[in-house]
Amino acid sequence: MRRFSLSFLPQNTFCTYAQWDYTNELPSESHWHWHDFHELFWVEEGEGTHWINGQSFPLRTGDLMLIRASDRHTFSAAQKNRRMRIVNFAFFAHMWAHIRKRYFKSASVFFSEPSVELRTYFLDSRQLDAIRQAAASLRSGQRDQLRAETFLLNVLDILQGNRHKHGTKSVPTWLRETCYAIGKKQDFSGGVPMLAKLAKRSQGHLAREFRRYLGRTPTDVLNDARMAYAAEKLVTSDDTILSITLDCGLENLSHFYRLFHARFGCAPRAYRMQQRRTLNLEHPFD
């Protein structure tokens, strides 16, 4: 079993960020490893298995796991020559010790949680996109302490409110696929009836299974997707707020305002101005 270390990193580099493809159907002894750092990974594409500390966990697109320095683990793809693509973020263990002490009172939280299952999460398409966006500076090669801690805190903030967490073994494939479909405008604009059609389930069955596995109603998840779409349109287009409301599949402007404020803490127009001002500051010569 190999042991990996971040001791090779140059000065002022506090993390690694990489994409890996796995095509091996069964793990060999040489693939097992442990390390002196913490890491997290998520599945971008494909299916496979995560072998860790004597347990095996099925992996599918959207699964995210937190790995402690003491964990022994490896990966395998679902079928030989079928790719499973993961994205990995590894960082010095003392960074987590500092963050935990500063932000979390509980001794057992996130990377300090001993149970592997309690360090396992399922991300819907909106959450996965948010994490990808948070990783932009890491992808560009900026991996100093500020960028590493900022990314980690962004991920933890997303996971803190994640209602899809823990026990991802049990989440049915059809429900996962439905959650990803929600991220598309042509699907969420049709509301719960369209969602039921996509899932090939009755609306009553859909409501029961969403509550059972996700702790939310189909409408809750649809509204998350609608507000994410609305926020993007506010920043990237000059569409009127009424037009964006209708695009989201909502007909009541007051209802749209309430949903948007609950999600982003401000009115749509204020959000548009604030985000555009931020973009101008980041790209003053564009």
pLDDT for 282 beyond 50: no
- The single residue listed with the structure tokens 């990377």 is 111
Position 53, amino acid? N
Token pair recorded at residue 73: 């683990």
Cα dihedral: 52, 53, 54, 58 (round 10):
-20
Pair 124, 63: CB distance under 8 Å: no
CATH of domain 172-281: 1.10.10.60
pLDDT at 135: 93
The top-level CATH class assigned to 2-169 is mainly beta
Pair 80, 24: CB distance under 8 Å: yes
Q: Over the stretch 72-94, which tens digit does the pLDDT of each residue have?
A: 999 888 876 678 999 999 999 99
pLDDT at 207: 92
The residue ranking higher by pLDDT, 215 or 261, is: 261
The count of residues in the chain is: 286
pLDDT at 260: 92
Domain ranges of the chain: 2-169, 172-281
